[in-house]
Amino acid sequence: MKRHIPNLITLLNLFSGCIAVVLAVQNQLELAALFVFLGIFFDFFDGLAARTLKVQSEIGLQLDSLADMVTSGVVPGIAMYQMLRMSQGGFVHDWSGSEVNGSMVWVGEHLVPLALAGFLITLSSAYRLAKFNIDDDQKTSFKGLPTPANALFILSLPLIMLYQGNDMINQWLLNPWVLLVITLLSTYMLNAPVRLFALKFKSWGMKGNGIRYTFLLLALVMAVTMKYLAIPVIIVSYVLLSLVENMLRKGQAD
């Protein structure tokens, strides 16, 4: 019975992702972000449960990536698509036919060609997850930005606009060129040949975990003081700390 527990948690991740897809298609990005966060929460604990119960399996690995593809691959792609549409003055999608923020709303979908670039995030996420499943060199660290971290970064943007935005921030985040740059950076970082540390503790001591504890402390302070704005800053800090760790290891090796 216990061998099914991690897979059940993984399926809860997938279920959260399915709900987030529906909400993102309806342009309810705030609620979509909530279910992505919930899915990532389940994603963290399925692996922890498998290691704790000693029931790690090949099917669990494959199922985890399939769930991540929806929650952390499809949803951020849709979110970026919606933001690029808004930046182009495209119609806001809503099945009710009501008016949203003073803009005309169509019943149905209106494609904006430039906005389709947002799905580069989805395509890059799929490629990264496929590589991860066949790469035995990513057990204790990652090559490129993990899809959940990338999803958090992308889904934080509409939350910042909703809760911490002002005219300058909103104008910047709805600039199509800014969004395209973010999309291309996201696409690159997902498959970048850069080693990033994983938050997997073999022991709870400081030895070998200094970078992890430093990151967690910084993340906690930023989350308390910066709210939603902390999310992209935390992701950037994660990459920078990983680069610092890489340089320190290279220096020790030399």
Q: Give the integer Cα–Cα distance in Å for 254 and 252.
A: 5
pLDDT greater than 90 at residue 166: no
102-111, 127-136, 179-188: segment of lowest average pLDDT: 102-111
Identify the residue with better confidence: 211 or 202: 211
Identify the residue with better confidence: 30 or 59: 30
pLDDT greater than 90 at residue 222: yes
Give the confidence band of 254 by pLDDT, cuts at 50, 70, 90. Answer: low
Give the confidence band of 49 by pLDDT, cuts at 50, 70, 90. Answer: confident
pLDDT greater than 70 at residue 104: no
- Residue 204 has a pLDDT of 64
Give the confidence band of 213 by pLDDT, cuts at 50, 70, 90. Answer: confident
Q: Give the integer Cα–Cα distance in Å for 204 and 202.
A: 7
pLDDT greater than 80 at residue 83: yes
Q: Which of 46, 43, 105 is nearest to 70 (CA)?
A: 43
Give the confidence band of 165 by pLDDT, cuts at 50, 70, 90. Answer: confident
pLDDT greater than 50 at residue 13: yes
- Residue 201 has a pLDDT of 60
Query: 142: buried, middle or exposed (CB in 10 Å: 19+, 13-18, 0-12)?
Result: buried
- Tell me the average pLDDT across 173-187: 96
- Residue 99 has a pLDDT of 40
Q: Give the integer Cα–Cα distance in Å for 245 and 233.
A: 18
Q: Determine what percent of the chain is predicted with pLDDT higher than 90.
A: 60
Digit-coded pLDDT (tens) for 223-235: 999 999 999 999 9
For 210, other C-beta atoms within 10 Å of its C-beta total 12
pLDDT greater than 80 at residue 203: no
Q: Enumerate long-range contacts of 101-110, CB under 8 Å, 24 or more apart.
A: 110/85
- Residue 160 has a pLDDT of 95
Identify the residue with better confidence: 33 or 95: 33
